[in-house]
């Protein structure tokens, strides 16, 4: 199958499935318990007077009393004390401006309150919002944040609902960077008061980088659906003390420890009395409705409840679209509504729009708008979730138009290939210009038939009301340059804006009706591809250049054109994860292949180069190509993430050189030469079939003595497809056979004791720190003392693991002083990296004792208590060297291969001799890790032999242990393919070993 067909087909599938009726305008209205309840729908201050306030004093006065009122907050206010909001009140933020700090908001003994479009951050005195003894409250489209690095008790909750409050909806909020997010129900003192109340709906909220409570509930009923959770340290959803939750259609991403738990233990970081051991409460209940995507998070349901279905109408967003919908819709400035019936005033434009806003009229379609504005009709549909059908638009809806391009009207039965041929461009270029495109006929195409034939340039020829400065992206006359102005901003400027903490380009451009390309042209220090990251708080930027300040056709954003980009002396700035290529655009010549662009840039002695359409970013010292956008693909393969779970047809292609400048050429397997001036002079082709990356590299760099090599796209996709299928099947079988344990005791990490050997350096030191930061008792055995002071729950014992007697004495002391370890991580190890004739007898003996025999001595000491309790975990740190032995590594590989047999035998003994299947065993196979173990052997990271950081490896191992997993853990995951190397033909095994012959070179000891 050709790449073009694969990509076109995939894009077509995604396009058809993109938001339509599930994002109808009704979803922006109240839904859940605040709407459907015995008292009546929550309307807030509807029908009352509307007042706009800008100061704390005005705000306090405006929200008092019980008469209906709508209070609009504009700007930032710092409250001297908590804000008391009366009944029948709507408190609504204006645009992106409303920001509350200093003190939080109270709804006490109130009814019928709406809190909407507010940013509430860093509240020290209590919760951001406390709802107490109140009914019918709707908390919608707000943002809550603090600083998770301050610890669990520095701030309190974000939205807490207590004391018999009832009929509450918490929807479309953005919660981030905080420990304790949302609590429902007080302590046991109020059990009788709370029972029968606390009906709360949580839907379409976006939680990111949190500690716990998303939410945590006691005594009530919470319906939790279509929320997105990213990176929770502990429980995301915690139901305890007889609480009932119905959980459905939620998505969990990132490093979320536990998605859902009904176990009553409250961890110390969440304990009301901050007990070091946590608080014991009764278990809660949970029921699962529509399918959830748990990601890598654990689920611990100790008892099912009777909350099977919510007694109101609601519509679920399709699960695979929840991440996109939540990220696009949650938070401030994300509310778009139709005008009320009978009113002709159009709604305000979406503040997120960086280009032109068109308010829909009768007979508008995606295609008619595309013809009128010279834009892609599909991009209109995809970028505007309020459009339900392209050929049947609702009137008076604000439409954010995409940037302009030259367009081509697709004919019936056209395909990607036929359109590309008509335009005189490659299929790959057509897909990059139209990433939603379909590989089949366009007869039933739902978006209209206008596609882009050139990159979008971000410029609009539109009529501007010059008399209204707020509606003009250019100013009439120059004003004095402020002292805090961006030093390189264009001085011919009529309006300046000083950036504040928390500002982003979306808000700045939205407030000033300014296109991104004009903003970057007026402020050259701002990167078009990383606009927000370029903004410096406290610095003023030009948001209204005069008409003559810039050329009429000002330069488009760098990422929308072919060309070479130059970073000057700031190359080190690009060695940051997720930072895209920026810097002045040196050249815009003509459409280039990537290798041609590299040749052109290198011929000008420019070290950094990139291509069109957001394809290019710098990762460490490598160039990664990836034209997929996360919000469309739902795939975290962007620069710096290192994800390998995107699927075979989404994997970036790379070409490697000895100078770490990488290029990509999709047409053939190619060897690219570089001579005196690093100019690519040509290429040779290797026309053969099933080539591995190593074979291609050997053929190019050894046989042909060239510097660059690349694999053919269609072959690589086929290989990766086959391997991926096998890998997935293997993981499923591992999960079924290895991970199942029906009688295992739950892990109570406030009581577990983790013992790590080699805990003073490398991976071991990082694991000690990570366990201790989670308030887990951890013990380090090492011959060397720790390099820094340990926390109070971490303990160091000086132990020589080559001595069985020393191990026995140390473990006895641990039992007396702390208790029996329940987790043993055998991590200690050494490496010599010497040829066999250079290894002394005492060195070989020491390596065998540390790397292999010490595992026996430690397991013999600690396993009896684990067997007795039927609870424990033995983790063996082996190596990928267990499967492949290379030159100068015989002794090390022998010991690590022995650990495979040790792990397998230990697992069998526990199952068949000790009847202790609930004692877990795991074996870890790291690849190269940048630790003292290899600092004298190899420190150079290449694609074929990448160096991991100790923190990465430690995080994966700790995560594996905390989730109670057993079995194999390969670091990174794709190296698991090497475990089958012994089944390869002998000649292939030898080729692979030969290709690694120069990896280890002893330099000093």
Q: Could you list the active site residues?
A: 213
Query: Which residues neighbour 896 within 8 Å (Cβ) at sequence distance 6 or greater?
Result: 851, 878, 879, 881, 882
Rounded (5°) CA angle 864-868-869: 120
DSSP state string for 167-209: EEEEES-EEEEEEE--EES--GGGHHHHTT--EEEEES-EEEE
Question: How far apart (Å, rounded) are the C-alpha atoms in residues 612 and 558?
Answer: 8
Tokens of 307: 């909350």
Question: How far apart (Å, rounded) are the C-alpha atoms in residues 818 and 797?
Answer: 12
Tokens of 449: 């038939």
1003 burial level (CB within 10 Å; 0-12, 13-18, 19+): exposed
Residue 55 phi, psi dihedral angles, 5° rounding: -125, 165
Q: Would you call 85 helix, strand, or coil by DSSP? A: coil
781 burial level (CB within 10 Å; 0-12, 13-18, 19+): buried
Going by DSSP bridges, is the β-strand pair 206-212/228-232 parallel, antiparallel, or unpaired?
Answer: parallel
Q: Using an 8 Å Cβ cutoff, are 8 and 416 in contact?
A: yes
Q: 187: how many CB neighbours lie within 10 A of its CB? A: 14
**What is the CA 619 to chain-centroid distance, rounded?**
16
Q: Using an 8 Å Cβ cutoff, are 903 and 927 in contact?
A: no
Cα distances (Å, whole numbers) of residue 729 to 4, 170, 720, 725, 854: 27, 40, 14, 6, 35
At which residue do the structure tokens 């991104």 appear? Answer: 516
Query: Which residues neighbour 309 within 8 Å (Cβ) at sequence distance 6 or greater?
Result: 246, 289
State the distance between the two ends of the chain, measured CA to CA, in whole angstroms: 53
Residue 171 phi, psi dihedral angles, 5° rounding: -135, 145
Question: How far apart (Å, rounded) are the C-alpha atoms in residues 289 and 291?
Answer: 6
Cα distances (Å, whole numbers) of residue 1004 to 431, 448, 932: 52, 67, 13
Residue/partner pairs of 815-822 with CB below 8 Å, 24 or more apart: 818/753, 818/777, 818/779, 819/753, 820/753, 820/862, 820/865, 820/866, 820/869, 821/753, 821/754, 821/755, 821/779, 821/862, 821/865, 822/752, 822/753, 822/754, 822/866, 822/869, 822/871, 822/872, 822/873
Question: How far apart (Å, rounded) are the C-alpha atoms in residues 580 and 638?
Answer: 10
**What is the CA 683 to chain-centroid distance, rounded?**
39
90 burial level (CB within 10 Å; 0-12, 13-18, 19+): buried
* DSSP H/E element including 874: strand 872-877
Beta strand segments in 241-356, E: 244-248, 251-253, 258-261, 285-288, 298-300
Would you call the peptide bond into 972 cis, given omega within 30 degrees of 0 as the criterion? yes
User: SS3 letters for 550-603?
Assistant: CCCCCCCCHHHCCCEECCCCCHHHHCCCCCECCCCEEECCCCCCHHHHHHHHHH
Q: Using an 8 Å Cβ cutoff, are 567 and 608 in contact?
A: yes
Q: Using an 8 Å Cβ cutoff, are 573 and 579 in contact?
A: yes
Question: How far apart (Å, rounded) are the C-alpha atoms in residues 231 and 257?
Answer: 8
Q: Would you call 673 helix, strand, or coil by DSSP? A: strand
CA-only gyration radius of the chain, Å:
31
């Amino acid at each position: 199958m050709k790449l073009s067909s694969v990509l076109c087909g995939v894009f077509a599938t995604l396009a058809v499935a993109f938001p339509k009726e599930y994002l109808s305008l009704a979803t922006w209205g109240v839904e859940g318990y605040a709407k459907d309840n015995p008292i009546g729908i929550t309307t807030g201050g509807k029908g009352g007077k509307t007042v706009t306030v800008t100061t704390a004093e005005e705000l306090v006065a405006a929200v008092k009393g019980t008469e209906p009122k709508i209070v609009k907050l504009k700007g930032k206010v710092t409250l001297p004390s908590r804000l008391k909001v009366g009944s029948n009140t709507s408190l609504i933020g204006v645009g992106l401006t409303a920001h509350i700090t200093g003190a939080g908001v109270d709804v006490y003994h109130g009814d019928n309150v709406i809190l909407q479009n507010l940013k509430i951050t860093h509240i020290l005195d209590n919760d951001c919002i406390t709802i107490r003894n109140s009914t019918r409250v709707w908390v919608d489209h707000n943002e809550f944040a603090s600083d998770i690095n301050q610890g669990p008790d520095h701030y309190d909750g974000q939205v807490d609902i207590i004391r018999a409050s009832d009929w509450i909806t918490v929807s479309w909020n953005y919660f981030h960077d905080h420990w304790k997010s949302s609590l429902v129900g007080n302590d046991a003192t109020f059990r009788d008061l709370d029972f029968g109340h606390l009906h709360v709906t949580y839907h379409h909220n976006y939680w990111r980088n949190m500690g716990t409570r998303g939410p945590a509930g006691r005594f009530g009923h919470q319906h939790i659906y279509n929320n997105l959770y990213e990176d929770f340290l502990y429980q995301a959803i915690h139901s305890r003390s007889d609480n009932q939750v119905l959980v459905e259609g939620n998505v969990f991403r990132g490093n979320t420890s536990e998605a859902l738990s009904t176990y009553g233990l409250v961890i110390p970081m969440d304990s009301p009395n901050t007990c070091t051991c946590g608080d014991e409460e009764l278990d809660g209940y949970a029921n699962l409705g529509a399918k959830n995507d748990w990601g890598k998070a654990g689920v611990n349901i100790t008892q099912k409840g009777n909350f099977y279905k919510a007694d109101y109408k609601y519509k679920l967003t399709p699960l695979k679209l929840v991440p996109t919908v939540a990220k696009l819709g949650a938070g401030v400035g994300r509310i778009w509504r139709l005008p009320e019936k009978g009113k002709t005033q159009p709604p305000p434009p979406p503040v997120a729009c960086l280009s032109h806003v068109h308010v829909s009229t009768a007979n508008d379609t995606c295609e008619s708008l595309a013809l009128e504005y010279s834009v892609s009709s599909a991009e209109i549909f995809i970028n505007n979730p309020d459009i339900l059908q392209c050929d049947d638009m609702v009137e008076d809806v604000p439409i954010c138009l995409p940037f302009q391009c030259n367009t081509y009207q697709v004919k019936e039965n056209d395909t990607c290939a036929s359109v590309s041929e008509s335009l005189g461009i490659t299929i790959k270029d057509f897909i990059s210009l139209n990433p939603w495109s379909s590989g089949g006929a366009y007869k039933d195409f739902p978006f209209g038939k206008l596609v882009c034939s050139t990159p979008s340039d971000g410029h609009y020829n539109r009529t501007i009301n010059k008399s209204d400065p707020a509606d003009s992206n250019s100013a009439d006359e120059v004003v004095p340059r402020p002292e805090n102005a961006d030093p390189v901003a264009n001085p011919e400027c009529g309006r300046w804006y000083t950036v504040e903490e928390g500002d982003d380009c979306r808000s700045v451009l939205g407030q000033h009706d300014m296109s991104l390309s004009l903003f970057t042209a007026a402020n050259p220090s701002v990167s078009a591809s990383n606009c927000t990251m370029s903004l410096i708080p406290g610095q003023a930027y030009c948001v209204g250049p005069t008409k003559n300040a810039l050329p009429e056709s000002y330069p488009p954003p760098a990422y929308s054109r072919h060309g070479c980009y130059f970073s000057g002396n700031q190359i080190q700035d690009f060695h940051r994860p997720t930072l895209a290529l920026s810097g002045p655009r040196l050249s815009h010549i003509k459409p280039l292949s990537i290798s041609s662009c590299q040749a052109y840039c290198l011929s000008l002695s420019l070290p950094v180069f990139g291509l069109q359409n957001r394809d290019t970013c710098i990762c460490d010292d490598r160039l990664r190509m990836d034209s997929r956008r996360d919000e469309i693909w739902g795939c975290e393969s962007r620069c710096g993430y290192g994800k390998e779970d995107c699927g075979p047809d989404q994997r970036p292609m790379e070409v490697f050189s000895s100078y770490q400048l990488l290029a990509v050429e999709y047409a053939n397997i190619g060897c690219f030469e570089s001579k005196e001036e690093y100019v690519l002079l040509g290429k040779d082709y290797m026309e053969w079939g099933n080539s591995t990356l190593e074979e291609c590299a050997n053929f190019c760099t050894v046989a042909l003595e060239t510097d660059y090599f690349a694999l053919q796209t269609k072959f690589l996709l086929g290989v990766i497809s086959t391997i991926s299928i096998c890998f997935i099947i293997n993981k499923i079988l591992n999960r079924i056979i290895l991970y199942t344990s029906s009688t295992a005791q739950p892990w109570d990490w406030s009581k577990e004791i983790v013992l790590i050997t080699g805990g003073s350096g490398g991976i071991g030191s990082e694991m000690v720190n990570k366990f201790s930061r989670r308030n887990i008792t951890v013990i380090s055995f090492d011959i060397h003392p720790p390099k820094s002071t340990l926390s109070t729950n971490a303990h160091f014992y000086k132990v020589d693991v080559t001595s069985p007697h020393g191990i026995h004495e140390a473990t006895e002391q641990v039992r007396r002083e702390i208790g029996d370890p329940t987790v043993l991580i055998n991590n200690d190890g050494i490496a010599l990296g010497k040829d066999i004739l250079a290894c002394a007898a005492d060195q070989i003996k020491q390596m065998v004792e540390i790397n292999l025999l010490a595992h026996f001595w430690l397991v013999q000491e600690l396993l009896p208590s684990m067997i007795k309790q039927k609870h424990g975990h033995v983790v063996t740190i082996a190596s990928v060297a267990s499967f492949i032995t290379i030159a100068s590594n015989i002794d090390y590989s022998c010991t690590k291969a022995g650990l495979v047999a040790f792990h397998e035998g230990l697992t069998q003994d526990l199952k068949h001799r000790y009847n202790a299947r609930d004692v877990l065993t795991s074996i870890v196979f790291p690849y190269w890790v940048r630790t003292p173990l290899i600092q004298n052997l190899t420190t150079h990271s290449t694609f074929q032999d990448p160096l991991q950081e100790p923190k990465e490896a430690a995080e994966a191992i700790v995560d594996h242990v905390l989730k109670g997993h057993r079995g194999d853990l390969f670091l990174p995951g794709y190296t698991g393919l090497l475990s089958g190397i012994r089944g390869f033909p002998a000649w292939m095994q030898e080729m692979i070993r030969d290709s690694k012959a120069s990896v280890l070179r002893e330099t000093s000891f």
